[in-house]
Amino acid sequence: MIENSMEIQPPFKNSTSFRMPDINSEKLGPTVNPVEGGIDWVGMQGISYPLQIDFKGENSIFVNSEVDLMVDLVDPLVRGIHMSRLFELLGQPGQASKDRGLNLDRIRDFLKSMVDCQQGLSQQACLKIKFSLPFVRETLKSKKKTWSQNYFEISAVASPEKIEIFSTAQILYSSTCPNSAALAHELNRQKVELYFTEVKNLSKQFSAEAFLEWFRAQMVATPHAQKSQALVTVSTSQITALDLKSLVLGVEQVLGTPVQSLVKREDEMEFARLNGQNLMFCEDAVRKISAHLKAVYPQHSVQVTHFESLHAHNAVSSISTFEKDVRRDRP
């Protein structure tokens, strides 16, 4: 510490006329930025936030998340919004955990608070929350417990007319190309046909054991497969509770080949069998998922990407049942 230091007092500290300037509320004009006009969306992205997830019918858990907070600015002459007021809506460290829970009712209330805290500057609000959830999984055959992560985004937009809430889930799976499987099968068929031709021509006695040993050594082709991704977005505006786990598990079940974490030999053999029974192009995958979603989520979109192992590019496909491109109304 520096001795004889002197506290610097702000000017007019004790004066009743002293006030902190509010630059954001300045009106635009010749002396301030002369470019005026309303703004579609303005706010903050990538706010770190400890989020409590309320599962349907299960206990809540805390996860790390990134939050985006946006509002519109309707007054063309106001310089800026009150960003700190938006930030404060997230709450303070040590706040009761019940106030941090993610559920649809709280999302609706939060959007209204975002508009209200701007005191007439805004009419619309947008909230985005990105996070990953750990799920307990069981291996395919060895029946061991393990963890896996799925990534999610909750996006909600409030306007004077309505509130729309969307949930997006990332599902990873394996896809084996049907065309490649057929070509590999044909090459192996030709090799088997050659074997039996040689047996016949040489008047050899056929032995199933000898054939299987030969076939194991002479396998000439295998189909190509790759890790693939489905991004599933559903409208949750009209439902009462978030059920993210069921959303993921349902899509995985209809695809049949979700990626694995812990794998023993018996699990890998079962995974190979499942891939053989669920050959799919990206067109097959996106149709399967969309057909599955229609019953519970009539409003949905599916984007599928097969990260090709054959090509230098990826194969993609998408289906949307939304009446319009809902993303155009969101930042």
Residue-wise pLDDT tens digits, 23-41: 666 666 555 565 677 899 9
The answer for residues whose C-beta is within 8 angstroms of residue 164's C-beta and 6 or more apart is: 156, 157, 235, 237, 326, 329
Alpha-carbon torsion, ordered 16, 17, 18, 20, to 10 deg: 120
85-99, 236-250, 258-272, 293-307 — which is least confidently predicted? 85-99
Placement of tokens 């060895």 in the chain: 142
Query: Helix, strand, coil: what percent of the chain each, to 5?
Result: 30, 30, 40
For residue 3, pLDDT over 50 is answered with no
The answer for residues whose C-beta is within 8 angstroms of residue 287's C-beta and 6 or more apart is: 319
49-53, 96-100, 160-164, 196-200 — which is least confidently predicted? 96-100
Measure the N-to-C terminal CA separation of the chain; round to a whole number of Å.
49
Confidence of residue 192 (pLDDT cuts 50, 70, 90): confident
1: tokens are 């510490």
The answer to whether 107 touches 47, Cβ cutoff 8 Å, is no
Residue 95 region by backbone torsions, left for phi larger than 0, else alpha for psi between -120 and 50, else beta: beta
pLDDT tens for 54-83 read 666 667 788 899 999 999 999 888 888 999
C-alpha distance from residue 170 to each of 153, 189, 230, 259 (Å): 9, 38, 6, 12
User: Quick check: helix, strand or coil at residue 90?
Assistant: coil
The DSSP bridge pattern shows strands 163-176 and 145-158 to be antiparallel
For residue 45, pLDDT over 70 is answered with yes
The answer to whether 165 touches 154, Cβ cutoff 8 Å, is yes
- Which of 73-77, 180-184, 203-207 has the highest average model confidence (pLDDT)? 180-184
DSSP state, 256? Answer: S
d(CA 104, CA 95): 20
* pLDDT value for 6: 47
* pLDDT value for 238: 76
Q: DSSP letter string over 7-20? A: PPPPTTTT-TT---
d(CA 190, CA 194): 6
Q: DSSP letter string over 104-150? A: HHHHHHHHHHHHHTTTTS-S-EEEEEEEEEEEEEE-SSS--EEEEEE
How far is it between the farthest Cα atoms of the chain? 115
* pLDDT value for 328: 45
User: Quick check: helix, strand or coil at residue 284?
Assistant: helix
Q: Is the dihedral of CA 40, 45, 47, 52 positive or negative?
A: positive
241: tokens are 């509770």
Task: Tally Cβ neighbours within 10 Å of residue 101.
Answer: 14
* pLDDT value for 26: 64
Q: Over range 320-329, report the average pLDDT.
A: 70
* pLDDT value for 33: 60
